[in-house]
């Protein structure tokens, strides 16, 4: 099996380099590309050329424009990376008969209600990032290629920037942290996403009926505030010296950001678990591992 991985150095891309390695020949690219192959998602012709040269069995796109607030004022680039590039990848996947694996987000939903969103629920993104990711999903769905789209949320990993690491840094210098307590979701480790991707890809490769959109997040739910309390407690238990003495819950309205965020980011993972026969551990497990790795290195 020949796999082309794009975005190899993002949080998920980094873990995919590990989890995909046993599946076959892995050609992993970052934005700079290598050996004449293009990994830059803004170079649409370069992507087409690369796929026609490599002729992969599976294309895995872990690259994306993920700066949610910047996206509000950078619509053109956001759209090229998150919508036009996935469309091109899907068209080229169809030509060479490859599967396309792609990641999307809880931000395709508007966060209303209290139920966990199912794959068939109507998307209604609140911000540019969400709109561009939804356009990317639809381009893939309409392309006719075989695909797996995994919608995930609140991603963290040992490599790269994320909320957990930011909180750990702030807790080293601030006595009081104010954290949003009215957005609910599931922190999901890049390692879990990568491992589940490798298992799912193996099954899908021999069963085209598995082509589709899936929600892939860790089990359980929390708010950013409760998540922060967990991070601080765990870090202190691991011997990390922190100065924070108080964590204050605040509302989304008290912390305005350029991009509007959904309140309810719960994703229902029943379809993923049933289709692939896989189990999704509670979010705390991945966070504890990441903190251990971060603090002990
Ligand atoms: N992070 C989250 O909380 C979250 C939540 C829901 C869904 N997702 C989705 O999950 C997937 C993986 O996210 P992640 O957390 O691993 O993201 P990440 O850590 O921000 O990594 C994104 C990667 O994309 C690369 N990239 C950006 N623009 C590019 C371009 N024009 N050409 C090539 N590479 C480019 C970045 O490279 P540079 O370092 O060179 O910029 C980076 O390596 C994405 O599809 C994302 O939308 C993420």
Which residues are known catalytic residues? 129
User: What 3-state class would DSSP assign to 89?
Assistant: helix
Q: What is the per-residue pLDDT across 22-40, written as a single tens digit (0 to 9) for each?
A: 999 999 999 999 999 999 9
Q: Report whether residue 109 contacts ligand 1, using a CB cutoff of 6 Å.
A: no
Q: What is the per-residue pLDDT across 203-228, written as a single tens digit (0 to 9) for each?
A: 999 999 999 999 999 999 999 999 99
Give Cα 126 to chain centroid, integer Å: 18
Residue nearest to atom 24 of ligand 1 (CA): 63
pLDDT score of 296: 80
CA distances from 24 to 19, 45, 86, 90, 276 (A): 11, 26, 23, 21, 20
- Ligand 1 pocket check: which of 28, 34, 42, 64 to mutate, most ligand atoms within 8 Å of Cβ? 64
Name all domains of the chain by residue range, CATH numbers in brackets.
2-162+186-221+266-282 (3.40.50.720)
* Residue 245 pLDDT exceeds 90: no
φ, ψ (nearest 5 deg) of residue 173: -130, -15
The pLDDT > 90 percentage for the chain reads 96
State both tokens at 12.
């998920």
Cβ contact 216:193 at 8 Å? yes
Mean pLDDT over 132-141 rounds to 98
* Residue 136 pLDDT exceeds 80: yes
Is the Cα dihedral 14, 269, 89, 64 positive or negative?
Answer: negative
* Residue 99 pLDDT exceeds 90: yes
Question: Mean pLDDT across the chain, nearest whole number?
Answer: 96
Listed range (100-109, 159-168, 196-205) with the worst mean pLDDT: 159-168
User: What 3-state class would DSSP assign to 114?
Assistant: coil
* Residue 292 pLDDT exceeds 80: yes
């Amino acid at each position: 099996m020949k796999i082309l991985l794009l975005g190899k150095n993002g949080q998920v891309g980094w873990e995919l380099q590990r989890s995909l390695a046993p599946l076959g020949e892995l050609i992993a690219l970052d934005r700079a590309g290598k050996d004449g192959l293009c990994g830059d998602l803004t170079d649409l012709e370069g992507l087409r050329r690369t796929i026609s040269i490599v002729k992969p069995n599976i294309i895995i796109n872990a690259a994306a424009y993920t700066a949610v607030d910047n996206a509000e004022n950078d619509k053109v680039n956001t759209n090229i990376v998150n919508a036009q590039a996935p469309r091109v990848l899907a068209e080229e996947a169809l030509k060479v008969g490859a599967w396309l694996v792609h990641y999307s987000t809880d931000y395709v939903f508007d966060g209303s209600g209290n139920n966990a969103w199912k794959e068939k629920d109507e998307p209604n993104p609140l911000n540019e990032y969400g709109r561009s990711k939804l356009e990317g999903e639809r381009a893939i769905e309409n392309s006719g290629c075989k695909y797996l789209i995994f919608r995930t949320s609140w991603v963290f990993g040992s490599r790269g920037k994320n909320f957990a690491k930011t909180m750990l840094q702030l807790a080293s210098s601030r006595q009081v942290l104010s954290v949003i307590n009215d957005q609910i979701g599931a922190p999901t480790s890049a390692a879990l996403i990568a491992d589940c991707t490798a298992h799912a890809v193996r099954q899908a490769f021999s069963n085209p009926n598995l082509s589709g959109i899936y929600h892939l997040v860790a089990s359980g739910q929390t708010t950013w505030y409760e998540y922060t309390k967990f991070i601080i407690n765990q870090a202190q238990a691991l011997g990390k010296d922190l100065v924070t003495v108080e964590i204050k819950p605040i509302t989304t309205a008290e912390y305005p950001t350029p991009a509007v965020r959904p309140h309810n980011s719960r994703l229902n993972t029943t379809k993923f678990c049933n289709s692939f026969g896989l189990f999704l551990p509670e979010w705390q497990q991945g966070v504890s591992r990441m903190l251990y790795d971060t603090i002990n290195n």
